[in-house]
Amino acid sequence: MSELTQKDKAHVWHPFTQHHTAGTPLEIVKAKGIYLTDSEGKEYIDANSSWWVNTHGHAHPHIGEAINNQFKTIDHIVFAGVTHPKAVELAVRTVGYMPENLTKVFFSDNGSTAVEIAMKMVIQYWHNKGEGKQRFLAMQGSYHGDTFGAMSVGQRGYFNAPFEPLFFDSDYIDFPNGNNEDSILEQAESLFASGEFAGMIIEPLVQGAAGMRMYSPQFLDQLSTLAHQHNVLIIFDEVMTGYGRTGKLFAMDHCSVKPDLITLSKGLTAGVMALGLTVASDEIYNAFLGDETTKALLHGHSFTANPIACAVACANLDLFERKETWETIESIGNWNAEFAFELGELGCVENIRQQGTILAFEIKTGEGNTYFSDIKMQAYNHFLKDGILLRPLGNVIFVNPPYCIAKDEYQKIETSILDFLTQGTK
């Protein structure tokens, strides 16, 4: 163990990590473009975009310049009673990409807080209107973050079992699998008909943490239509799907029926700074106006609208305004489709799915959960050996690279995956 990893072991508590059994963490000393370099000089392709956040590659000069310039201009200031140019620029540009009903931007620090704020807006919207509706509809397998509100509308299970008695009750519709859509819509309609539902929260088109599970925009349109017919506010949690992942800037761009609230984080700052946005409709915002302070959204974070994070988010948008970015996004989509076809020829994988820059499939195991985690570690280590950082979710392997990946780098990932699959079935 190196000195750094020894000190890490002594004092650092990592996310989603059982430290009793966890191996030594990979010591990364440099990140540049698509590559991460470890302390021994070995390079790894960042195939999952550093936990799905990186958009344009590491150490992008345009992002670096934005950080430098902003630090010299305003580093950080209070955002209650004060404003600053980069927060306003980000708000204006963000709503410029949104459907016209979404016009008001609230700033926070991460995806979970963006979700908490969206849910608080929904609850208080109905409260301010004198209606006591508080219930949320969510989807089986959903992930909306690790804070209490977000966990209360997420998939219940071993990730959050100790806290479950403290969650508020939510209702869950099944995940659409191509055969059950009609019955899900019936289920949703009969729940909505109770009149108790304040909102519906959903990961549009792709459930990330559940294993990059995908469903159609047509289904989401039907579900959203039902929600609106029953006066249920819709939150699209675009924390993972936002910023090009699905092949368009936002997943909702594939849909005809638009939500009332959007949450954004991960790709928002090119994967460089901690920032979250909750974008709300005028209708929601207006319900918080009045002479009484108590009608306002009395919520805020120390680092609300941090100017450096806002400047980086604006620089991220600059890069999305370059034609080359969309050309690469399209190429990744094409490579994914070709690779999906190739994978379909193999007997050892199933449920191959693709949406834009995300490709996912399952390794057939036919065994219990422990075997899943075995496969996960075997695959993870195999990819590392080949110079690829790719973290499977159980037996789900998925690729969602930064948008600067070149064809030969993508092919390297393909080759490594194919090697693993064919060796694994010997």
Ligand X SMILES: *Cc1c(COP(=O)(O)O)cnc(C)c1O
Interacting residue ranges for ligand X, rule: CB under 6 A: 110-112, 115, 143-145, 203, 208-209, 237, 239-240, 265-266
Residue 51, Ramachandran bin (φ over 0: left; ψ between -120 and 50: alpha; else beta): left
Residue 48 CB contacts under 8 Å (≥ 6 apart), including other chains: 389, 390, 391, 398, 399, 400, 401
**205 or 317, CB closer to ligand X?**
205
Residue 190 CB contacts under 8 Å (≥ 6 apart), including other chains: none
Q: What is the rounded distance in angstroms from the CA atom of residue 265 to the CA atom of residue 111?
A: 5
Residue 119's DSSP bridge partners are: none
Token digits of residue 69: 């310039």
Q: What angle do CA 385, 58, 93 make, to 5 degrees?
A: 140
Residue 249, Ramachandran bin (φ over 0: left; ψ between -120 and 50: alpha; else beta): alpha
**3-class DSSP string for 45-63:** EECCHHHHCCCCCECCHHH
Closest approach of Cβ 143 to ligand X, in Å?
Answer: 6
Closest approach of Cβ 262 to ligand X, in Å?
Answer: 11
Q: How far is CA 355 from CA 165, 215, 278, in A?
A: 36, 9, 24
Closest approach of Cβ 355 to ligand X, in Å?
Answer: 14
Closest approach of Cβ 33 to ligand X, in Å?
Answer: 23
Closest approach of Cβ 81 to ligand X, in Å?
Answer: 27
**143 or 410, CB closer to ligand X?**
143
Residue at 351: amino acid letter = N
Closest approach of Cβ 55 to ligand X, in Å?
Answer: 14
Residue at 176: amino acid letter = P
**54 or 110, CB closer to ligand X?**
110
Q: What is the rounded distance in angstroms from the CA atom of residue 93 to the CA atom of residue 240?
A: 19
Closest approach of Cβ 265 to ligand X, in Å?
Answer: 5
**110 or 306, CB closer to ligand X?**
110
**143 or 361, CB closer to ligand X?**
143
Tell me which residue of 417, 335, 413, 345 sits closest to 375, measured CA to CA: 417
Closest approach of Cβ 6 to ligand X, in Å?
Answer: 28
**223 or 349, CB closer to ligand X?**
223
**39 or 50, CB closer to ligand X?**
50
**208 or 401, CB closer to ligand X?**
208
The CB-nearest residue to ligand X is 111
Q: Which residue has the tokens 């995940």?
A: 175
Backbone angles phi, psi at 318, to 5 degrees: -50, -45
Closest approach of Cβ 367 to ligand X, in Å?
Answer: 28
**56 or 144, CB closer to ligand X?**
144
Residue at 253: amino acid letter = D
Burial class (CB in 10 A: 0-12, 13-18, 19+), 166: exposed
**208 or 247, CB closer to ligand X?**
208
Closest approach of Cβ 112 to ligand X, in Å?
Answer: 3
Pairing of strands 197-202, 135-139: parallel
Residue 262's DSSP bridge partners are: 236, 279
